Amino acid sequence: MADTFSLERVLETFRSSLSETKEVYMKYYIAGWQELVSFMNSLGNVFSFISKDVVSKIQILENFLSGENRSCYVTIQSMVKYELENELVDLTKRGSHPESGCRTLLRLHRALLWLELFLERLRTSKEDGKTSVMCSEAYNESLAQHHPWLIRKAVGVAFCALPGRDTFFDVMNAGDHTQVVALLGESLPLIAEVYQITEDLYAKNNLLELP
């Protein structure tokens, strides 16, 4: 992973994550999240409790990807099939498989909806748009429903420390603001497609509420 964040690389990883048959490659899905974490790390320590959580989830998935059953973890579809067929998922309450690939990826999947909603707000925002408002509206429409009160409060405090819209656009390293908006317009359908494919797969297998 390169040191400097680039929106273009996020776009590339999510593009690469889709196979011709619309399966989602775990390797690139994880790489996309790693890029996003590098962006969050550049925002300061106030976000470290969030990035630690994402990093630990990425690590769990990477361990599966490099473990002895790695061939079963090539795509999200193969992971779901393998873990369900081998009863490796805690379906109703946490038990002997508290860190299955399916439940771990579900947490990132829910966060992908937040990202999609936030980036769409950013893309269509006016010059005086507030990133903290965009972030918290997107959060309330997605992840917040899955988080307890304490986390929601901590996240609300972190949002107040977000830099302004101009800084966000600059850190994306994608040229001037018009170019960033264009690239966001290109990235969002890809992120939305990856999200929807995963959502449909999880819904079909009754995995959307994994503990």
Count of CB atoms situated within 10 Å of the CB of 59: 11
The answer to whether residue 139 forms part of the interface with ligand LTTT4AJV (CB under 6 A) is yes
Q: Which of 207, 197, 194 is nearest to 84 (CA)?
A: 207
The answer to whether residue 177 forms part of the interface with ligand LTTT4AJV (CB under 6 A) is no
Site for ligand LTTT4AJV (CB under 6 A): how many residues?
25
Q: Which of 79, 56, 80 is nearest to 69 (CA)?
A: 79
Which of positions 33-52 make contact with ligand LTTT4AJV (CB under 6 A)? Answer: 36-37, 39-40, 43, 47, 49-50
CB 99 within 8 A of CB 60: yes
Angle at 76 between CA 143 and CA 78, to 5 degrees: 150
When binding is defined by CB under 6 A, the residue of 18, 26, 31, 54 that contacts ligand LTTT4AJV is 54
| Footprint on this chain of ligand LTTT4AJV (rule: CB under 6 A) | 7, 10, 36-37, 39-40, 43, 47, 49-50, 53-54, 107, 110-111, 114, 119, 135, 139, 143, 146, 151, 155, 162, 172
